[in-house]
Amino acid sequence: MERLIYQRWGRRIRDARTGMYSQGQLARIVGVSKGTMSKYESGVLHVPDGTKWRIAGALHRSLDELFAWPIDVPPYPAERVAA
C-alpha cells in the first residue's frame, strides 16, 4: 500500500514540475540528486517531510496538493497506526 501512495505522490510531483522545471533542475533547487528525485517521482522512495516542504515551495503548490492521502487508498489499519 505504501508504494501505491508514493507512486501517487510521485505522479503529482512530476505533473506539477512539467513545463516548469526539468527533473534535474527541481532536484538542484530542492537539494537532492537527480537520481533521488527520479525515485521520488517513480514511487520507489519515500519523500522525507522536510523535502516535501522544499518540493511544494519550489513548485508553488501546497503540501495538500502534492502529498495528500489518495482518496482511493484506505487509511492504515488501526494496529499499524498504534505501532
Concatenated DSSP letters for 21-74? --HHHHHHHHTS-HHHHHHHHHTSSPPPHHHHHHHHHHTT--HHHHHSPPTTSP
Q: Where are the domains of the chain?
A: 2-82
pLDDT tens string 13-24 = 999 999 999 999
Which fold is adopted by the domain 2-82?
434 Repressor (Amino-terminal Domain) (1.10.260)
At residue 4, the pLDDT reads 84
Which among 20, 24, 23, 6 is positioned nearest to 66, based on CA atoms?
Answer: 6
**pLDDT higher than 80, residue 9:** yes
Length of the chain: 83
Q: What is the pTM of this model?
A: 0.82
In this model, does residue 83 exceed pLDDT 60?
Answer: no
Q: What does the pLDDT average to over 44-70?
A: 93
